[in-house]
Amino acid sequence: MVKIYRIGVGYVGGPTMAVITLTLQEYGKVCASMAFGIGVAYKEGVGKASLFLLGLDDVVKQCRGKNLFFSTDVERHAAEADIIFVSVNNQTKTRGLGAGKAADFTYWESATRMIAEVSMSDKIVVEKSTVPVKTTKAIEKILTHNSKGIKYQIISNPKFLAEGNAIKDLLNTDRVLIGGRETPEGKKAIEALTNMYGQWVPKDRILVTNLWSGELSKLAANAFFAQKISYVNAMLALCEATGSNVSQLAHNVRTDSRNGPKLLDASIAFSRFLLPKGHT
């Protein structure tokens, strides 16, 4: 049996570990820790979530005490785990160099140092939080310098969830992204995560990338969504000035299949005759 441990049980960790246990009844045992992060999903000994996510209570009730357990004994469970998911809070620094801009890795560093300190066997550490690119490099340094001979494989497995609707999004996900090292050991770790998710996610929806592409893809997706929102808001002003209906305009643009996966390949310039002409 694979032992899966999750550090951080908030809006990301809570629903993710619940769905993993629901879909992997025969695959492994999941233990969720509440020692790191803010906004924990469950309190030890209490049967109801302290945050509301549609469907979360029902899923936890089906699995709790079977293959899902909650604990504050962080060190013991981290030491025993084969796979450790880390989904702790990643805030912006409020003081010091980079205040208001740079990421605050206090929780991440604490979790990583704890893992390195208590580990007695090789582990896969899964980065679930939204983090800047190359965060994994810092995590690897901490683990390597404090490893005591233990080997770690770091996986980038960013979340693509809508808060409040996470259970549904996880059970019917558009894709699962798994980024890892392109080494024999890294590929084995990727395979382990692929096998786990493959218990309920169709194979064609599991995307495998290198480590840095995994981290950057999440940030790029967020930026792309923000650009789309900013764009339609800008078009709203134009619609109001011309008497156009922004809802109709958005629908008309949305129905073009090229606004899906098409026209998203990098190149030196626009191609074809009419495309650049339409932007002048």
Query: For residues 59 and 63, what is the distance between their CA atoms, to the nearest angstrom?
Result: 7
| Dihedral angle of Cα 224, 230, 235, 241, to the nearest 10 degrees | -170
The segment with the largest mean pLDDT, out of 101-115, 167-181, 266-280, is 167-181
Give the pLDDT confidence of 120-164 residue by residue, as tens digits. Answer: 999 999 998 888 888 889 899 999 898 888 999 999 999 888 777
Q: What is the mean pLDDT of residues 224-231?
A: 86
Q: What is the mean pLDDT of residues 235-246?
A: 92
Give the pLDDT confidence of 45-93 residue by residue, as tens digits. Answer: 444 555 667 788 888 888 877 778 777 788 888 888 899 999 887 778 8
Domain 2-211 fold is Rossmann fold (3.40.50)
Give the pLDDT confidence of 1-20 residue by residue, as tens digits. Answer: 788 888 887 778 878 888 88
User: Both ends of the chain: CA-CA distance in Å?
Assistant: 61
Query: For residues 30 and 1, what is the distance between their CA atoms, to the nearest angstrom?
Result: 10
Mean confidence (pLDDT) of the chain = 81
Q: Which residue has the tokens 């309190």?
A: 43
% of the chain with per-residue pLDDT over 70: 83
Each residue of 219-229: b (16+ CB within 10 Å) or e? eeeeeeeeeee
pLDDT of residue 262: 54
What is the value of pTM for the model shown?
Answer: 0.82
pLDDT of residue 11: 77
Pairing of strands 28-33, 123-127: unpaired
Q: Read off the DSSP letter of residue 26.
A: T
